[in-house]
């Protein structure tokens, strides 16, 4: 049995690209840990705590994750403007990358992680916190001597089909057409595919656990509201596969080998 750690930027990110993989790994007896760089908040943490971290814990419980940790940073936001740091913590993109990598590496060592899941070099769709996750994840893996790093992504061709579906259903979602053509990873570069169709009910329920994002006014909220309501077979058709790129030219050590199949 292996310990698999998924490193993400914000609460709810754990579901979209790795939720099925985490659920499958947990169901097959592996220890699963999720670490988020940020609490998803742009402002000072309220006295009642960070609600999005509570939602993350609820999501993680659905997926079978055994530990959730937060590196202590604030979200950096998306777009041209980078707001000042809140008074109680640093925005992730402004943090010292080496310090952030050391924080993550400490957890990797403590958990004796065999496999780190991170993001591709583009951070998926280019969010600055996601790009920093890619950078910090690779450095932390080197510091902690993690033998395998797989970077979560999607084939660009799949992203283009999803965008067409959003248009067809007239879901109010803003996107940059040029970004869609360059986001994520070309299918030819993807090295591993995970079949998560047996776990799509958990994945959908984990997404629904992020109530503030589903009911909120964020950019993805309209899409999330549709996704948590569609019939499970439809959700499974959309999200029954998850994709990864091997970050190093290393020979797999056999851990979780039955999950990560070579891409076809």
Quick one: pLDDT at residue 220?
79
Q: How many CB atoms lie within 10 A of CB 155?
A: 19
**79-108: per-residue pLDDT in tens?**
889 999 999 999 999 999 999 999 999 999
Quick one: pLDDT at residue 160?
73
Which band of pLDDT confidence, cut at 50, 70 and 90, is reported for residue 44? very high
Least confident window among 13-17, 70-74, 111-115, 161-165 = 161-165
Query: Quick one: DSSP state of residue 49?
Result: -
CA–CA separation, 114 and 5 (whole Å): 8
CA–CA separation, 224 and 234 (whole Å): 14
Could you tell me the domains of the chain? 3-248 (3.40.50.10320)
The SS3 call for residue 204 is helix
Beta bridge partners of residue 242, listed in sequence order: 194
Quick one: pLDDT at residue 92?
98
Least confident window among 48-52, 192-196, 227-231, 249-253 = 249-253
Over pLDDT 70: what percentage of the chain?
A: 91
pTM: 0.92
User: b/e for 63-97, b at 16 or more Cβ within 10 A?
Assistant: bbbeebbbbebbbbeeeeeeeeeeeebbbbbebee
Whether residue 25 contacts residue 4, with contact meaning beta carbons closer than 8 Å, is answered with: yes
Q: What is the CA radius of gyration of the chain?
A: 17
Quick one: pLDDT at residue 84?
95
CA–CA separation, 205 and 211 (whole Å): 11
Which band of pLDDT confidence, cut at 50, 70 and 90, is reported for residue 173? low
Mean pLDDT in the chain? Answer: 91
Mean pLDDT of 16-41: 97
Whether residue 125 contacts residue 10, with contact meaning beta carbons closer than 8 Å, is answered with: no
Mean pLDDT of 171-190: 75
């Amino acid at each position: 049995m292996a310990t698999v750690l998924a490193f993400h930027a914000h609460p709810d990110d754990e579901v979209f690209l790795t939720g099925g993989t985490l659920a499958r790994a947990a169901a097959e007896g592996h220890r699963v840990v999720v670490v988020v760089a940020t609490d998803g908040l742009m402002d000072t943490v309220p006295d009642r705590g960070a609600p999005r971290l509570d939602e993350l814990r609820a999501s993680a419980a659905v997926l079978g994750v055994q530990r959730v940790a937060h590196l202590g940073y604030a979200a950096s936001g998306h777009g041209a403007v980078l707001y000042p740091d809140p008074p109680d913590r640093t925005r992730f993109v402004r943090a010292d990358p080496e310090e952030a990598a050391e924080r993550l590496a400490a957890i990797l060592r403590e958990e004796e992680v065999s496999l780190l899941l991170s993001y591709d070099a583009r951070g998926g769709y280019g969010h600055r916190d996601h790009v920093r996750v890619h950078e910090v994840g690779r450095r932390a893996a080197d510091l902690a001597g993690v033998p395998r790093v797989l970077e979560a992504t999607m084939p660009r061709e799949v992203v283009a089909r999803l965008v067409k579906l959003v248009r067809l259903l007239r879901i109010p979602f803003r996107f940059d057409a040029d970004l869609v053509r360059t986001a994520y990873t070309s299918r030819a570069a993807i090295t591993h595919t995970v079949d998560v169709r047996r776990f799509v009910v958990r994945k959908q329920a984990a997404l629904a656990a992020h109530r503030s994002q589903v009911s909120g006014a964020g950019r993805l909220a309209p899409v999330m509201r549709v996704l948590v309501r569609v019939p499970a077979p439809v959700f499974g058709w959309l999200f029954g596969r998850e994709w990864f790129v091997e970050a190093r030219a290393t020979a797999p050590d056999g851990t979780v080998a039955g999950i990560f199949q070579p891409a076809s």
